[in-house]
Amino acid sequence: MPWKGKPGRSDIGCWIGFSVTGIYNLVLLPLRPVLLGANPYLLAALGGSRVSAVTIGALAATGVGFWPLGLVLGTIGAVKFDWLFWWAGRLWGRGLIELVAGRSPRAARNADRAERLARRYGSLAIMAGYVIPLPSAVVYATVAAAGMSLRRFLLVDVGTAAVTRGLFIYLGYRIGEPAVHVLAEVARYSWYLSIVLLAGVILGAIRGSRRKKVTA
pLDDT at position 214 is 47
Low-confidence ranges of the chain (pLDDT < 70): 102-103, 179-216
109 within domain boundaries: yes
State the DSSP H helix or E strand holding residue 77, giving kind and residue range, or none if neither. Answer: helix 67-79
8 within domain boundaries: no
Percent of the chain surpassing pLDDT 70: 81
Domain that holds residue 191: 31-211
Q: What DSSP line would sit under 154-203, residue for residue?
A: HHHHHHHHHHHHHHHHHHHHHH-HHHHHHHHHHHHTHHHHHHHHHHHHHH
pLDDT at position 4 is 78
Q: Is 65 exposed, middle or buried (0-12, 13-18, 19+ CB in 10 A)?
A: middle
Q: How many CB atoms lie within 10 A of CB 176?
A: 15
pLDDT at position 207 is 62
Rounded CA-CA distance 160/100 in Å is 24
Contact (CB, 8 A) for 28 and 36? no
136 within domain boundaries: yes
40 within domain boundaries: yes
1 within domain boundaries: no
pLDDT at position 131 is 86
pLDDT at position 132 is 84
- CA-nearest of 128, 119, 113, 117 to 93 is 119
Say how many domains are in the chain: 1
